[in-house]
Structure 1
Amino acid sequence: MPKVRLYTSFTLLITLLSLLNSCSGNKFLEGRFTPDPNLQNNPTPTITPEVGSTPNTNTLPPEIPQYPTAKLLSVEPNSTENIGKTRWVTPDPINQIGEFYQQQFQGNNWQIITPFSSIDGNNTLVASKDGLQTTITLEGNSSETQFTIDYQREGGTISYSPNPSPTITPNQLPTQESVSFSDIAQVSDPLRRHIQDLGTLGVLTPQNGNLFSPNTAITRREFARWLVRANNTFYQNDPGKQIRLGETTSQSAFQDVNVSDPDFPYIQGLAEAGIIPSRLTGDNNALLFRPTAVLTREVLVSWKVPFDLRKGLPTATIENVKDTWGFQDVSKVDPKALRSLYADYQNGDLANIRRVFGYTTLFQPKKAVTRAEAASTLWYFGYQGEGINAEEVLQAKNQTQPTQ
């Protein structure tokens, strides 16, 4: 028996050695052990996001959950884990993505500032946790859902290329081109007319090509830009009512908006005019501007009403606002916004709230403002009958243009 076992072992050893020696001629083994030339040429393959996996180009903070079947489309240039914007796409329906994020945030101790709502068609969720504010905006159709995740951590800053936009000199806006938007047919009047007029004046900026994306939430930086452009366009012949654009030689009013930011002249101009709270107004709680955060209704009114009133805001209390507007949720309004709300009521039918939101007994102060709503506030500037609207500005502009 020992001889038989020895012979068998010797035979097996010879067979294995023969197989290894013939490896160079065996295509199956060669394919198993030879490095894939495609991997050598492409050491970093494209990865579709899955649960627990993240593409190298995705800067999304780890605290923010990723939707399982979402594919990363784009990342805003210079984004970091502290501030940035990413765009995703998935074949799943919009309500499914909304439910996923609503549950994820609720189950992980996030403070939901503005929830998704199918009742009033709000497709934007704003949540905050440990100084990280996140905004998710959904855009769905019959075949897919695209959504953006906009985030900023307290103290987060982002740098921009040296010349991200045309050079802006003090009190001089860059060239404004007329825009005719192709996606506002679904917007009801009067908001659609407001968007058309302001687009013709070159006040509004499209999101992509000639798309306005009326139902998408607007960011604080974008509204600051529109607000200054609209005011200075309406009062182009009245320097005393214009906002002086911030100069790049000035010290920034905010820690998260540096002089190379393309919207620095607008944001700095509003801060130096005292329209928005900052360190310049002595507000130590406003050291950050949060440019990529969504604009809320109470902030919208707080920034716009001073341009209508053109004088000090009246004293106001919760009782004043409740007795005038009749809002059921007035207790949720930031105390700093009460004076603007009260002054807006005194503007009668020309009040921003009436023009944009119509009749309502709920203000929903923390709700995100859409691009269409933001545009509508800028269609008219003035107080108690003394003012001007975009249609009148267009008429005056057409009268001064030479005939061809």
Structure 2
Amino acid sequence: MFPSRRPAILLSLVTLLLASLTGCADSPAGKNLEQSLAADPKLKDNAIAFEQSATDPKAQNQTLAQLPSDFPSEIPQYPLAQLQQVTPPTAQSDGNSTTRWTSADPVNLVQNFYQKQFQDSNWQLLSQPTVDEVGGTFEARQNDLKVKVSIQPIQSNGTNTGSSSATPSPSQAAGEQNSGAATELTIEYVRDRSDTAAQPTANATPLAPTPTPTPTAQPTATPQANNPTNTSNSLVFSDINKAPTELRSHITDLAQLGVLALNPGGSKQNSSATSTQFEPNKPISHREFARWLIATNNQIYANNPAKQIRLATDSSQPTFQDIPRTDPDFPAIQGLAEAGLIPSPLSGDSTAVLFRPGAALTREQMLVWKLPLDTRLVSTATIDSVKQTWGFQDVAKIDPKALRSVLTDFQNGDTSNIRRVFGYTTLFQPKKSVTRAEAAATLWYFGTQNEGISAKEVLQAKPQQ
């Protein structure tokens, strides 16, 4: 009978408790009990703050910035950098778009990355940091795209130690400090759609005025078959500003000689056209360089038949399987082979049975073809001798057949092809393709440092003829 009385007892206890709470609601004990059962106000404030951080874009981390959809793919992006800020083009920035990045890597790694990327991708470097400079600014151009990359170290407090176009806000500095950023880089870029609108920078050499074409000289005793050029139809290239600054004058001089106006078989381009596209940064093919090589040599030595290269005749037995007599460039290519200037079975290279006219010319091939016309004698060489003279880090990658030409070119001092075309470098990159601008710079000068002649000197002598 005792279990049946339990509900009644529990009900009595609950009633007694409620009565006690009601009676002492205003007492200190009642207030303490009420406060102990109330919700924590800190939880309420934290919930509001959390809700605001989720909806307020200013409270979001700066690393959530999105790269613009029109960001040029040609611009190198440091793989371990985080995008912090994007600034669209404005009138005050001259139309430049700006992106700001940070990286935990030290400045020298970022700087070496952009130095190598700009060189390997055939960018025209308008200015760059000095060797001893920590950080600095690269200004480069490729076709109609101009880019400026500023690299500066960030101190431990999150501030930039170098000059910057914009001062980071406290929230940005805090975000960079928390992320362990050691380097800040700013990339400014703009596309120039006009060929002539680009303004030269302070470190860039302005393009010299194009010389006025001179009247055609009177015919000399040199056979026309050995000098298939005509300076009366010299060209003025409309895209010359796209070429590296150091090579523009070389292209202009050769254009005035008329040796760059040849199509296969020696036919001229449209003589009524006053300008054309040179495409200076495009790789040059075997066929085109062979055509330029023989035409330039014979034009420079127009008054010295002993130094001219004879063109092959239709009766010559084709040396290369892919260059038959019907090929429009057969006289030039076959003539170079018969003169022993390019590798072929005639020169004892039984493996060179194909000329591969459409293949891109490499740096080592360019020297092998050109050096015999400079020195008339190529020295013997080894890997060690080339490494001791040039100091190239990649000398082991050079074809053994090209080592002699590379070493002989060193002996020409400042008139060497490598120094004239590529400037100072510790990497030769022998298998890298040669651009049309680089090929023109190579052909601009023939001979040694003690005895040689340039295309400019030939042009200056024209009026005297």
Normalised by the length of structure 1, the TM-score is 0.58
Change (3 A) 1:235 1:366: same
Higher relative CO (CA 8 A, sep ≥ 6), structure 1 or 2?
Answer: 1
Structure-1 residue corresponding to 2:256: 200
Q: 2:245 aligns with which of 189, 197, 213?
A: 189
Structure-1 residue corresponding to 2:375: 309
Change (3 A) 1:206 1:191: farther
* Offset, 1:253: 1.0
Secondary structure of the equivalent of 1:302?
helix
| Residue identity opposite 2:391 in structure 1 | G
Secondary structure of the equivalent of 1:120?
helix
Change (3 A) 1:306 1:330: same
Q: Distance in 2 between matches of 1:373 and 1:392?
A: 20
Change (3 A) 1:250 1:140: farther
Q: Distance in 2 between matches of 1:385 and 1:334?
A: 28
Contact 2:227 2:299 in 1 (8 A): no
Change (3 A) 1:206 1:248: closer
Deviations 1:101-122 (A, max 9, x none): xxxxxxxxxxxxxxxx843253
* Offset, 1:189: 3.5
Do residues 386 (structure 1) and 442 (structure 2) align? no
Change (3 A) 1:395 1:169: closer
| Residue identity opposite 1:216 in structure 2 | K
Structure 1 stretches lacking a partner, 5+ long: 1-90, 97-116, 125-137, 145-167
Q: Distance in 2 between matches of 1:387 and 1:212?
A: 27
Q: Distance in 1 between matches of 2:316 and 2:227?
A: 17
Deviations 1:138-195 (A, max 9, x none): 9887699xxxxxxxxxxxxxxxxxxxxxxx9742415452011110113343310000
Change (3 A) 1:186 1:140: closer
When structure 1 is superposed on structure 2, of 298-307 and 172-181 the one drifting more is 172-181
Larger radius of gyration: 2
Q: 1:330 aligns with which of 362, 380, 395?
A: 395
Structure-2 residue corresponding to 1:171: 226
Q: Distance in 2 between matches of 1:221 and 1:169?
A: 21
Deviations 1:366-396 (A, max 9, x none): 0000000000011100113201001100011
Secondary structure of the equivalent of 1:215?
coil
Do residues 375 (structure 1) and 440 (structure 2) align? yes
Q: How many residues align?
A: 253
Q: 2:291 aligns with which of 225, 250, 258?
A: 225
Do residues 180 (structure 1) and 179 (structure 2) align? no
Secondary structure of the equivalent of 1:373?
helix
Do residues 247 (structure 1) and 313 (structure 2) align? yes
* Offset, 1:92: 11
CA RMSD of aligned residues (A): 2.8
Contact 1:296 1:365 in 2 (8 A): yes
Do residues 343 (structure 1) and 408 (structure 2) align? yes
Structure-1 residue corresponding to 2:276: 210
Structure 2 stretches lacking a partner, 5+ long: 1-69, 76-115, 124-141, 146-190, 194-222, 264-268, 270-274
Q: Distance in 2 between matches of 1:94 and 1:236?
A: 47
Q: Distance in 2 between matches of 1:205 and 1:121?
A: 29
Q: How does 1:5-404 map to 2 (within 5 A)?
A: 95=74, 118-120=117-119, 122=121, 170-176=225-231, 177-205=233-261, 210-311=276-377, 313-400=378-465
Secondary structure of the equivalent of 2:446?
strand
| Residue identity opposite 1:119 in structure 2 | F
Secondary structure of the equivalent of 1:392?
helix
Change (3 A) 1:352 1:174: closer
Normalised by the length of structure 2, the TM-score is 0.51
Q: Distance in 1 between matches of 2:293 and 2:280?
A: 17
Change (3 A) 1:331 1:397: same
| Residue identity opposite 1:122 in structure 2 | S
Contact 1:123 1:139 in 2 (8 A): no
Secondary structure of the equivalent of 2:236?
coil
Q: Distance in 2 between matches of 1:206 and 1:266?
A: 12
